Structure formats: structure tokens, C-alpha cells
Amino acid sequence: MKRISVVRKKNVSAYLTVYLTFIMTFLLSLCLALIEGTRNGAIRLESECVMDIGMNSILAEYHRELLERYNLFAIDSSYGTVNAGSANVMTHLKGYMNRNFSNQNLFLGNYLYRDFLGLSVQDATITQELLLTDGKGEVFRALAAEAARDDVGLNGLAELMEWLKVVENNELLTRDIRAEKQAVDKQIQEIAVVPVDNPTILIENKRKEGILKHVIADPQSLSRKHLREENLFTARMERGQVNLGNMEALSMQGMGDLEEKFFFLQYLLSYMGTYRTPKEQGALSYQIEYLLEGKDSDVENLRHVANTLCGLREVANTMYLYSDSTKCAEVELIATAISSLLTVPEIEPLLETTLILGWAYMESLYDVKTLLAGGRIPLMKDASSWHYGLEGALETNAPAQKLVSSEQGLSYEDYLRIFLMLQRDEELTQRAMSMVEADVRMSPGNQAFRLDACVVELEACVRIKSKYGYWLDITRKKSY
């Protein structure tokens, strides 16, 4: 009996040993699996956190001058050098991530801490990027409009559209009064048997002298700045030397084409100079005039804008003169007297026309001069806002009356807003980008600045390696 008991005890001990071995093996495997799962989860969590930190660090490297001067966020992928590209951004991203993976910057990091993950970035690739100039400037225009939307409302849009309607319905920018007057003057000389002294000869001589001489109080005070355009965006675009991103261009949410253009114009008028508010620290002082005309000097841009403005005023003033019976009767009286003296009655209607057109030109010169001096002129005049009498216009040196009220009519900036609204979007946007580049290049360390090196949105793919044998790929997309 004792032998049987001993055998049974030995069998029980063997069973317990085997049982405990299986249990310990299972528990040990479970613990090891949990440890590995925890390590794997920690690797993924830390990698994702560090990836987000790295991407945010990249966005934090926005170009300071571009933000301060034009309120635009973008990464300059050249980082102040002449070599731009995504490789520079990748280098910065890897540096930020590896710095966060490392414990070297921790106090006594090599002694108090142990890295149980051993992570490092093996490779980083910018898979997609959106440049500020993509879509032939659509991105730039959209971001500029968004920046302006935060500052202004749509209150001025309805008024601007009313002005545009008046301009288009009355052909204020398409009708050429100067050409019409030259044709009439030529007819007068052809019909008359003997040469006729044109009653508006002094006006024509004044026109030939150039407009700036007659609308600027001190022409010597004008800005003499010139712009070197050969390396700016517009010139590079024409040569096909512009960098392109590979991400779909931005779209403005809740904003139609008309609203976007309105806000874009408000942006330009807010951040760029005009003759009335010159940008002294800019590459050009009269920058809005450059956007309209595209000439390489402030004087030339102002001259062309003044001529355009004078042409618009000529059409509007001519229309008013024809609508005013009193002024028409005054013109008819003089034309009748001249044709009677010459005994050529058939030139009377031609003389009336040339007198009205000449009178309108003199009034237009005064209008432009008033606008450049800070006054206001209505799009379409009436008797209360007219200034020159016929006699004073023909003499060309008679002083004009002052404005009845400086609050009436449109300002010089309002007329510029009309011209900008009628400008082609692509041409206006590209000139604006050239102007931004030229301005930023004037700041220290930015002589090689290019807008087509500025990134506003990017997608990066990073491969992370653990010294414990793990590999992990993470992709993130970030934008301003």
C-alpha cells in the first residue's frame, strides 16, 4: 500500500510540473506578446506624434518678409539660398523628426533615460506639394482674396458694379474722343477753300505736350524708380521657367468668382502703393499703376493711367456737353460766327463738334488733376459739377472753379478700382506676383526670392526604423 501511495505522489508531482510548465510557457508568451504589442503600439504612437510635430515645425518656417509685407503664409523651399526644391524641405523634416526621436536634448538623457523604441527617420519624401504660383496664379489669388475677406465686407461690391455698368453702357473706356476730334479737324481743312485756323488749336498744342505736365503740380517730384523685370515671375512665366506643384489648386469655399475678384482687388489696394499713397519702401512706388500698365518705371505707368483716366473723362464730359442745351447753344453761336466769316456754312456742324470735343478735353484735364490731388469727380457730370466755361477752355489758361464739395463723386482710388476690375485676371495676377517678388527681394537675405519656390500645402511620406527591427511608413498632409 505504501508503494502505491508513493507512486501516486510521484505521478501527481509530474502532472503538476507539466501543468505549471505549460501555464508558465503560456503566461510568458502572453507577457512577451503584450510587451511586443505595447512596443509596437508605442512606436506607432510616437511616430505619429513626431510626424505631426515635424510637419508643424515645417509650416512654422513660413517666410517672415512675405507675411509682414503681404500677409501671406508660405514656406520658402530655398530657405534663403538660390537652390529651391522639395529636397530642402525633406532635409528639414528629417532633422526635426530625428531631433524629437532622440533623447540627447534631455537633461542627463544618456544616464536617466533608456530608449526602448530606438526610432529614427530613414527616408522622407514630399509626395505632393502646392506652390503659391500654381494654376497660373490661382492659388496666390485665392489666398490673397481670403486674406482681404477677413478685413473688408461686400458692402462696396454693389457700388462698384454700378460704376462698371455706367462705364460699359456709355462706352467710357472704348470710345476714342481724340481720334474722333482728329478726324473732324481733318474734314474741316478738306472742306474749307482756304486754310482755317482751328479754334481749338491751343487745346491741341496742350495735348501734344503730354498729360503729366498739365495734371501734376510738380513733375520733378514724381518717383524715378525702375523695375528690372527679366528675372521676375511674369518674365519667367513667358520663358517657361516656373516651378510647378503636383497638387490640385485651392478653391475658395463659399465665394463666387465675382466675390473672389472683388476681395483680390481690395487686397491689392490694401497692400500695394498708388500715386496718392506711394509705397516708399517698394521696388516701385506706384504699384497699382504697374499692375494696370506693366511698364518698367513709375513715371511711365502713371502717364498711361493718367491718359486712360483722361480718355474716360473725355467720353463722359462729351456726353454731358451734348445733353446740356445751354452749352450746345453757346457752341453753336461760336461755330455759326466762324463759318459765316469764312463763308463756308457747311463746316458749321464740324466746328460745333470740334469745339465740344476740345471743351471736353480741357474739362477732362482738370478732372484728372483734381483726382491726382485728392479730390473727387463723378462718373457722369451735371451742371453743378462742371467747371470750365467755353471761353476758358479755348484760352487753356483760364483758372477753373474749385470743386463744390470734396465728398461728391469718385476718388482716384475708386477709378483705379474700376480699371482693376476690368483687367484680365491672369495678367493682373501675374503682375501682382512679380511685384511681390520684387518687393521681398529688397529685404536682406532674400535677393533670390521666388514665389514659385513657396509651398502652401504639402504631403510627406516618412519611413521610420526602430533598432529593434520594426519599420513604419507614415503619410501626412498639412496646409496653412
Q: Which range is least confidently modeled, 38-52, 101-115, 247-261, 335-349? A: 101-115
Q: Is 79 left (phi over 0), alpha (psi -120 to 50) or beta?
A: left
**What's the pLDDT score for residue 293?**
96
Same domain, 317 and 465: no
| Residues 137, 444: Cα–Cα separation, whole Å | 26
Asked if pLDDT for residue 1 goes beyond 50, the answer is no
Same domain, 94 and 195: no
| Residue range of the domain that includes 23 | 2-133+456-479
**Residue 262 belongs to some domain of the structure:** no
User: All 3 cell numbers of residue 439?
Assistant: 518687393
**Residue 381 belongs to some domain of the structure:** yes
Same domain, 16 and 104: yes
DSSP 8-class letter at 195: -
Same domain, 119 and 204: no
**What's the pLDDT score for residue 455?**
95
DSSP 8-class letter at 451: G
- C-alpha closest to that of 205 among 216, 197, 194, 217: 197
User: All 3 cell numbers of residue 409?
Assistant: 463723386
Span 42-55, mean pLDDT?
Answer: 91
- The domain tally of the chain equals 2
Span 449-470, mean pLDDT?
Answer: 92
Same domain, 398 and 374: yes
**Residue 159 belongs to some domain of the structure:** yes
* Cell 520658402, residue located: 76
Whole-number Cα distances in Å, 133 to 8, 86, 104, 125: 88, 15, 40, 22
Same domain, 89 and 157: no
- C-alpha closest to that of 310 among 381, 237, 369: 369
Asked if pLDDT for residue 409 goes beyond 60, the answer is yes
Q: Helix and strand tally (H, E) in the chain?
A: 18, 4
Same domain, 65 and 181: no
**Residue 17 belongs to some domain of the structure:** yes
Same domain, 233 and 312: yes
Span 280-302, mean pLDDT?
Answer: 95
User: All 3 cell numbers of residue 72?
Assistant: 501671406
Same domain, 125 and 173: no
Asked if pLDDT for residue 330 goes beyond 60, the answer is yes
Give the angle 476-477-480 at the CA atoms, nearest 5°.
135
| Residues 70, 287: Cα–Cα separation, whole Å | 13
| Residues 379, 364: Cα–Cα separation, whole Å | 11
DSSP H or E run through 148: helix 134-149
| Residues 82, 91: Cα–Cα separation, whole Å | 16
Span 3-27, mean pLDDT?
Answer: 71
pLDDT band at 252 (very low <50, low <70, confident <90, very high): very low
| Residues 465, 480: Cα–Cα separation, whole Å | 29
**Residue 257 belongs to some domain of the structure:** no
Residue type, 219: P
**Three-state secondary-structure class, residue 456:** strand
**What's the pLDDT score for residue 354?**
94
pLDDT tens for 356-370 read 999 999 999 999 999
Same domain, 115 and 52: yes
* Cell 531631433, residue located: 99
| Residues 157, 256: Cα–Cα separation, whole Å | 13
Neighbours of 217 (CB within 10 A): 8
Same domain, 340 and 208: yes
CB-based contact 382:320 (threshold 8 Å):
yes
**Residue 263 belongs to some domain of the structure:** no
**Residue 260 belongs to some domain of the structure:** no
Where b means 16+ CB within 10 Å and e means fewer, 373-409 reads eebbbebebeeebbbbbbebbbebeeebeebeeeeeb
**Residue 233 belongs to some domain of the structure:** yes
- C-alpha closest to that of 421 among 156, 198, 230, 222: 156
Instruction: Find all residues with CB under 8 Å of 33, minimum gap 6, and list them.
Output: none
Same domain, 469 and 422: no
Report the Cα–Cα distance between both ends of the chain, in Å, rounded: 88
